[in-house]
């Protein structure tokens, strides 16, 4: 089916779904055969104004799962883990995963914070919880929230020493998560595929961490930007990728785009999800100009692909 014709023909249905009862929404969201989740970082700077109302909008589009991340509000969007889990459930969303930092966050030398949706430079708190310094608290919080996955969003991999430290932190966290019946995962950007002293950081992270304790959440956009074929990674490490960041790369290959509007070969990816071991798909778009327009487009295009 031509994607553009599908989107044009179903636009009214998508907009009308805002008014449908939850049972009808459940039917629509299941139409493609697989739950589609949203990485809430996509709504950074937007969700904070009305957390419940914005989660209701996410559910109304058709999303049924969410993955949380850092926001401008303290803790979990201004709530405790139990409170946030209850809020998600109340609006028809299942909280499946949470992103955390692997080490204390440091801005690269000369780097300036990007502007948020309000046009002002983003600000960061004095201390952001991370696995190196706060691992047990982050694992305990995830257990309190009842989420099945905890994900390291990023960790320094610029030198071989940093990579060695990273694998130690990841393995240690994986062990702590296992005790709480949580699966720990690592999320990539494109930097992990840049050669360091003749070695590829992502290969070292895969090979030097316990394959059972440390799974991967493959970000399709950043892997593609790095020149990697996601399916080749699936085949080289079958069953290692229970989570996917379903994110497109714009046609200029500079950064993220709504799903279906870039160059990522989603047809090939979804034809090989069993090899990957993929169980949850989270749409993400870093700092879009219009977050809800982007996630609506991504959702409709995924359903048009038969996901």
- Give pLDDT tens digits for 217-241: 999 999 999 999 999 999 999 999 9
What pairs with residue 121 in β-bridges? 115
CA angle at residue 244 from 35 to 40, to 5 degrees?
70
Res. 111: pLDDT tops 90: no
Contact call for residues 86 and 51 (beta carbons, < 8 A): no
**Number of C-beta neighbours around residue 277 at 10 A:** 16
Mean pLDDT of the chain: 89
Whether 110 maps to a domain, the answer reads no
DSSP at 156: -
Domain housing 281: 51-105+123-287
Is 35 a domain residue? no
Residue 1, pLDDT > 50, answer no
Rounded average pLDDT over 102-109:
76
- For residue 12, being part of any structural domain is answered with no
Strand 65-68 relative to strand 94-101, pairing: parallel
Q: In the chain, which residue ranges form alpha helices assigned H by DSSP?
A: 3-16, 22-29, 51-61, 81-90, 131-145, 160-179, 201-207, 220-225, 230-236, 266-270, 273-276, 291-304
What is the phi/psi pair of residue 100, to 5°?
-135, 160
In this model, does residue 204 exceed pLDDT 80?
yes
Domains of the chain: total: 1
Is residue 7 predicted with pLDDT exceeding 50? no
Number of Cβ atoms within 10 Å of the Cβ of 278: 21
pLDDT at res. 126:
67
Window from 77-91, 124-138, 243-257 with minimum mean pLDDT: 124-138
- Band of residue 106 on the pLDDT scale cut at 50, 70, 90: confident
Close Cβ partners of 68 (under 8 Å, ≥ 6 residues apart): 40, 76, 77, 84, 95, 97, 98, 99
- Residue pair 37/63 in contact by the 8 Å Cβ criterion: yes
Whole-number Å distance between alpha carbons of 43 and 290:
9
Q: What is the pLDDT of residues 237-270, one digit of tens each?
A: 999 999 999 999 999 999 999 999 999 999 999 9
| Domain-embedded: residue 242 | yes
> Which range has the worst mean pLDDT, 54-63, 125-134, 175-184?
125-134
CATH number at residue 146: 3.20.20.150
The token duo for 34 is: 């697989």
**How far apart (Å, rounded) are the C-alpha atoms in residues 17 and 19?**
5
Is the residue at 304 inside a domain? no
- Tens-digit pLDDT profile for residues 143-174: 999 999 999 999 999 999 999 999 999 999 99
Residue 298, in any domain of the structure = no
């Amino acid at each position: 089916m031509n994607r553009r014709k599908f989107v044009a023909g179903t636009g009214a249905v998508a907009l009308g779904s805002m008014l449908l009862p939850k049972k009808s929404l459940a039917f629509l969201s299941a139409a493609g055969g697989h739950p589609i989740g949203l990485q809430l970082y996509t709504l950074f700077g937007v969700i904070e104004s009305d957390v419940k109302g914005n989660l209701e909008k996410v559910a109304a589009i058709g999303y049924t799962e969410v993955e949380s991340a850092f926001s401008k509000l303290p803790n979990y969007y201004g709530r405790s883990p139990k409170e946030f889990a209850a809020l998600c459930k109340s609006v028809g969303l299942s909280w499946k995963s949470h992103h955390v930092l692997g080490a204390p966050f440091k801005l690269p030398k000369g780097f300036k914070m990007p502007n948020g949706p309000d046009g002002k430079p983003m600000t960061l708190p004095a201390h952001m919880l991370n696995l190196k310094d706060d691992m047990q608290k982050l694992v305990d919080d995830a257990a309190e929230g009842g989420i099945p996955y905890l994900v390291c969003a990023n960790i320094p991999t610029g030198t071989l020493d940093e990579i060695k430290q990273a694998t130690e932190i990841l393995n240690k966290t994986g062990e702590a998560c296992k005790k709480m019946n949580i699966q720990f995962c690592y999320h990539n950007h494109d930097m992990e595929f840049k050669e360091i002293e003749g070695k590829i950081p992502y290969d070292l992270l895969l090979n030097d961490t316990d394959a059972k304790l440390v799974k991967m959440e493959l970000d399709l956009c950043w892997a593609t930007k790095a020149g990697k074929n996601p399916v080749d990674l699936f085949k080289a490490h079958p069953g290692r990728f229970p989570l996917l960041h379903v994110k497109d790369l714009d046609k200029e290959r500079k950064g993220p785009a709504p799903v279906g509007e870039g160059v990522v070969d989603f047809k090939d990816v979804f034809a090989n999800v069993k090899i990957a071991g993929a169980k949850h798909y989270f749409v993400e778009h870093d700092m879009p100009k219009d977050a809800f327009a982007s996630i609506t487009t991504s959702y409709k295009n995924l359903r048009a692909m038969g996901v």
